[in-house]
Structure 1
Amino acid sequence: MTTVELTRFRVSPALGEALVATRSAMLRDFRLDRDGFLDAQLVRLADDEWLDIVSWRSSADLAASRAKGGNRPGIQAFFELIGEIISSEEGTLVDEPAWPGNAPG
């Protein structure tokens, strides 16, 4: 089953546009360097808060990604704009979309 990473964080209002601008490079680096990365959605919330919803093939893939941290320029640029991590959770997706590689045969 797909593992979902939910990270809620705060970004200074002056850096919101920069955060969005760095997103594509971060996702490119994830696709190049993070086994098991499936997809990600970034949600802007109220009060300068954001929610990053990242889907992984497995909990082990998420753990391996966390161990790498900001090891690539696009990932590091995105992470550097985050002022505060509010929460980070891991869950299991129970309503599976048809990701490439797990679609029924």
Structure 2
Amino acid sequence: MTTSVELTRFRVAPEKVEALLAARPGMIADFEADREGFLGARLVRLPGDEWLDIVEWRSSADYAASSEKGPNRPGIKAFFDAIDSLVTAEEGVLSA
């Protein structure tokens, strides 16, 4: 079994950055409680109001199952609500 990596790049308006960062711990807690195979996540701030969320999953199937749930919990919804637009979303495989 290989570790799947979700790479999501998105834009956040400057006035919503505080809300995004405040919502992050709740999103992580909801993922830990409700998303089978969630291994961890890192949030990277990029130039030009863009961000990169790097999320590790035990498997591609776990990532797919999580995607199907969408923002089904308050912490996840609050984080998603702070995002203005999606730039890219892709999946990769973590190599040692």
The TM-score normalised by the length of structure 2 is 0.98
Q: Computing the radius of gyration over CA atoms, which structure comes out larger, 1 or 2?
A: 1
Offset, 1:52: 0.1
Match for residue 72 of structure 1? 73
Spell out structure 1 runs of 4+ moving beyond 4 A: none
Q: How high is the sequence identity, in percent, across the aligned residues? A: 62
For 1:57, the equivalent position in structure 2 comes to 58
Cα deviation, residue 16, structure 1: 0.7
Q: In the comparison of the two structures, how many residue pairs are matched?
A: 95
* Aligned-pair Cα RMSD in Å: 0.4
Matches within 5 A, 1:32-47: 32-47=33-48
Deviations 1:65-100 (A, max 9, x none): 0000000000000001110000001000002xxxxx
Task: Return 5+ residue gaps in structure 1 as ranges.
Answer: 96-105
TM-score by length of 1: 0.89
